[in-house]
Amino acid sequence: MRGGIVVRQSKTFIPTTREVPSSAEAISHKLLIKAGMVKQVSAGVYTYLPLATRVIQKIEKVIREEHSKIGAAELLMPILQSDEYWKKSGRWDKMGEELIRVTDRKKAGYALSPTAEEIVSQTVNNMVTSYKQLPMNLYQIQTKFRDEIRPRLGLLRCKEFIMKDAYSFHDSPESLRETYKDYYQAYSSIFDRFELKYRAVQADSGNIGGSYTHEFQALAEVGEDTIVYTEESDYSANIETAAVVEQNYTMPTGFEKKERSLLETPDQQSIDDVAAFCGVEVNRAMKALALKADGEFYLVLMRGNDQLNDIKFMKATGTSEVEMATEQEIEEVMGSVAGYMGPFGIKNCKVIGDNAIKYMYNHSCGANKKGFHYINVNPGDYEIDAHYDLRMIEEGDLAEDLSGPVKFAKGIEVGQVFELGKGYSEAMDVTYLDANGRANHFYMGCYGIGVTRCISAIIEQHNDEKGIIWPKEVAPYQVHLVCVDVKKEDQVKLSDELYAQLTAAGYEVLYDDRAERAGVKFNDADLIGIPLQVVVGKKAGEGIVEVKERQTLEKVDTQVVDVLAKVEAFYK
């Protein structure tokens, strides 16, 4: 190892502070501010100061190394993207207000890139023309934009952020699946090198589209995503897509089927009230939701204690937008009354139910008449178009792989991989010629990592009451050399010798040569969190320094001649 880096702390810009704004909620946000790594310039927009910039460079280095291993080529695409391409793909309208739109002096419309499926498709169009050039695997690391309605949690939810986005082009779904596996493994290697505790979970494709996707979720209490997992297997999924299997339900044997009857239920405002009034448990009180999706009306039947999963509903019905029907629509279109809806006599809608209702017995349901419910309703008493898995999974439900009950954990999404299929290439009409000379649309995949989001995720998992504890691969520097008292000639002389020795050996050194009190220097060193500290203090005259590991806080007095060997052993 040769050609190390040394930066004198007196000459760089690391504005550490003990004060943080009250708006800083996440530990990572607080520590980024305290360690002098970021400065907020507006809501969701940050300047990355020198320490953060070095961490970003380290993260990008790992990403580039792992992408090189799978044959991905780096390019750089424009941030300013013509609305022509976004309208062609359909995402100009689909992304709504999250897409930042601008107009130039000639009134031409543009989007500030949140992702680049449209532009990468346009880039390869007429350039990748033959199946012989496939698969094609491209990536970039670039600033992205998203008009977050409520930027929060520091770098976890920003309007402007840095992202690695990759795209692959294929002539078959089998080729796409192989590259998907390559990226899955590359991401696992990247996050392992970041020393993140994470789970790769089944997920929803959202605005990106596609039919097969996994999120890489870094485990953290501040995470906004809920991960469903079991301790008995490697099963895990995002709560938005976690399947509820029918093995969770049973119909009691030998129950007495009672005669259905109409019951007056005046002034019963909630499903709990209705259940109590009808003399049944809440899970035997059917609730009905009136929804409007893509212009069609639906009546969704569920157990009273279950919650509808909108994503499951849209997948089951093949719809893209869903909203609650208004009271007027319930009355005029569906012939019912809000709060008293049920399957008997409902009009002008599709009636679908969650799988759980197949196992309800002698239950209550709305009678489509104000102030009335039916009781002792059983399967087969009413007509229904279809049953689906529609509800949100709950802790304790049996996992999809039947291995055991599920548990919940919070996660930060740091990466996601998608199989897009032909959706974008068909919309953008991007083709290649196959072996028979016929034009075909590409199969595509896309693969993202939130570079700046990874900074926060790493800090959330690697910190203590003193500050940040950087993993070795992403630390801004490898060694923090602290000269305790710059007025003492022997300390300065020994510190200078050590930084020359360490940098000659190829190590990256932050050299604290400031005229500050010892306590300030020690606190800043722990706050900044460089993995190894070499402290030159009172024993300098004896040729002894203190070597401290930031993670364990273990301190060892070390002869100067042994310092390099100790550093080498630490980074071996």
Report the distance separating Cα 555 and Cα 350, nearest Å.
70
Is residue 395 assigned to a domain?
no
Out of 356, 388, 420, a domain closes at 388
The two three-digit tokens of residue 429, written as one number? 């009409």
Question: Is 312 contained in some domain?
Answer: yes
CATH number, residue 306: 3.90.960.10
> What pLDDT score was predicted for residue 252?
87
Among 398, 431, 459, where does a domain finish?
459
Residue 76 and residue 140 in one domain: yes
Question: What is the CB-side half-sphere exposure of residue 572 using CA atoms within 13 A?
Answer: 7
Q: Is 251 inside any structural domain?
A: no
The reply to whether 284 and 201 lie within a common domain is no
Q: How far is CA 29 from the centre of its chain?
A: 17
Residue 503 has pLDDT above 50, yes or no: yes
Q: pLDDT (tens digit, 9 = 90+) per residue, 470-498?
A: 999 999 999 999 999 999 999 999 999 99
Query: 512 to each of 317, 521, 527, how far by Cα in Å?
Result: 62, 8, 13
Q: Examine residue 424 and state whether it is found in any structural domain, yes or no.
A: yes
pTM, whole model, 2 decimals?
0.90
Residue 208 — pLDDT band, cuts 50, 70, 90?
Answer: low
Q: Which of 398, 428, 459 is the C-terminal boundary of a domain?
A: 459
**Confidence class of residue 5 from pLDDT cuts 50, 70 and 90?**
confident
Residue with tokens 């002098």: 36
Contact 341, 319 (CB under 8 A): no
Residues 382, 531 within the same domain: no
Are 340 and 433 found together in one domain? Answer: no
In a domain, 379, yes or no: yes
Q: H-type helices in 321-408, by residue range?
A: 327-332
Q: DSSP letters along 394-449, please? A: -TTSBPTTSSSB-EEEEEEEEEEEEEEETHHHHHTT-EEE-TTS-EEEPEEEEEEE
d(CA 485, CA 456): 33
Phi, psi angles (nearest 5°) of residue 13: -120, 95
Query: What confidence tier does 209 reach under pLDDT thresholds 50, 70, 90?
Result: low
Sort strands 372-377 and 322-324 into parallel, antiparallel or unpaired.
unpaired
The answer to whether 162 and 47 have CB atoms below 8 angstroms apart is no
Pair (528, 455) in one structural domain: no
CA-based torsion, 456, 209, 113, 159: positive or negative: negative
Q: Is the pLDDT of residue 2 over 60?
A: no
- If 0-12 CB within 10 Å is exposed, 13-18 middle and 19+ buried, where does residue 308 land? middle
Residue 267: exposure state from Cβ atoms within 10 A (0-12, 13-18, ≥19): exposed
Q: Compute the Cα dihedral for 318, 319, 322, 326 and give only its sign.
A: negative
How many angstroms from the chain centroid is the CA of residue 69?
A: 24
User: What's the CA dihedral at 144, 145, 149, 155 to 10 degrees?
Assistant: 40
Structural domain includes residue 8: no
Taking each helix axis from N to C end, the angle separating 451-461 and 50-69, rounded to the nearest 10 degrees, works out to 110
Bridging pattern class, strands 212-219 and 198-202? antiparallel
Residues 378 and 527 in one domain: no
pLDDT above 70 as % of the chain:
98
What is the rounded CA–CA span in Å between residue 536 and residue 170? 58
Peptide bond into 173 cis (omega under 30): no
pLDDT in tens, 261-278: 999 999 887 999 999 999
CATH number for position 416? 3.30.930.10
Whether 227 and 202 have beta carbons less than 8 Å apart is answered as no
Check whether residue 265 and residue 141 sit in a common domain: no
The phi and psi torsions of 290 (rounded to 5 degrees) equal -95, 115
Comparing C-alpha atoms, which of 464, 467, 475 is closest to residue 31? Answer: 467
Cβ count near 57 (within 10 Å): 11
Q: How many Å apart are CA 513 and CA 486, to the nearest integer?
A: 6
CATH number at residue 566: 3.40.50.800
Digit-coded pLDDT (tens) for 147-185: 999 999 999 999 999 999 999 999 999 999 999 999 999
Inter-residue contact 358 to 387 (CB < 8 Å)? yes
Question: H or E segment at 329?
Answer: helix 327-332
416 has a pLDDT exceeding 80: yes
Q: By C-alpha distance, which of 548, 414, 532, 519 is closest to 476?
A: 532
What integer pLDDT is reported at residue 1 of this predicted model?
A: 46
Over the stretch 11-56, which tens digit does the pLDDT of each residue have?
999 999 999 999 999 999 999 999 999 999 999 999 999 999 999 9
Does 342 have pLDDT greater than 80?
yes
Dist. CA 271–CA 269, nearest whole Å: 7
**Over 90: is that where the pLDDT of 212 sits?**
no
362 found inside a domain: yes
Residue-wise pLDDT tens digits, 377-406:
999 999 999 999 999 999 999 999 999 999
In a domain, 517, yes or no: yes
Asked whether the beta carbons of 506 and 1 are under 8 A apart, the reply is yes
Whether omega for the bond prior to residue 252 falls within 30 degrees of 0, making it cis, is: no
What amino acid occupies position 484? Answer: V
The C-alpha atoms of residue 491 and residue 560 are separated, in whole angstroms, by 12
Structurally, the chain folds into a number of domains equal to 3
Percent pLDDT > 90 in the chain is 94
Identify the pLDDT of residue 253: 84
| Contact call for residues 119 and 127 (beta carbons, < 8 A) | no
Same domain, 120 and 194: yes
Q: What is the mean pLDDT of residues 404-423?
A: 96
- What is the span of the domain harbouring residue 275? 256-388
Q: Given the structure tokens 């969704």, which residue do they identify? A: 300
Do 350 and 418 belong together in one domain? Answer: no
Please provide the DSSP assignment of 150-207 as one string: S-BTGGGB-SEEEEEEEEEEESSHHHHHHHHHHHHHHHHHHHHHTT--EEEEE---TT
- Does residue 67 sit in the same domain as residue 180? yes
Residues 61 and 208 in one domain: yes
Residues 164 and 262 in one domain: no
Residue 320: pLDDT band by 50, 70, 90 thresholds? Answer: confident
